[in-house]
Amino acid sequence: MTDLDEEFGAAMRLALDEARAAGRDGEIPVGAVVLDGSGAVIGTGRNDREGSTDPTGHAEIVAMRAAARARGEWRLSGCTLVVTLEPCTMCAGASVQARVDRVVYGAVDAKAGAVGSLWDVVRDRRLNHRPEVLAGVLAAECGALLSEFFVHRRVR
């Protein structure tokens, strides 16, 4: 177990619970939570594009919307976004726009990751806000959940 796993493991396990629930609903199993400055969960989310017929229904967006409602404002300064899969360009951009202090993710997304893999949206110096990025928290567990989902999906 790494220091990051120890620091953010509990939050990532909550995000994994959200991801598993998404998978049971037939969604790609990605989950997210938003922590306030004290570490309390103020928003949770899971992929729900199929169920909501909303192309923006990614776990991160759902969690950040919930956190913004809980705070009563769109700025999520002082907050940490914890997500099971590296955010895509949309979600990375949303984390910048929301002024999230930190993005913590589990599995790398080599096909669509925008927080260091394929792109690095959140660290682009041309933007007015750049969240800290911490990668690889419970990465094996996060990756295994996605791999298992797609293995079963291809079998059908």
Annotated catalytic residues are 60
The type of residue at 153 is R
Q: How far is CA 146 from CA 19, 42, 128, in A?
A: 9, 25, 33
- Which token pair is 53? 């017929």
For residues 70 and 78, give the distance between their C-alpha atoms in angstroms, rounded to a whole number: 14
Nearest by Cα to 62 from 97, 18, 105, 118: 18
Nearest by Cα to 22 from 68, 67, 84: 84
CB 133 within 8 A of CB 108: no
Q: Is 91 a known ligand-binding residue? A: yes
Q: Which positions make up the binding site for Zn(2+)?
A: 58, 88, 91
Q: Which positions make up the binding site?
A: 58, 88, 91
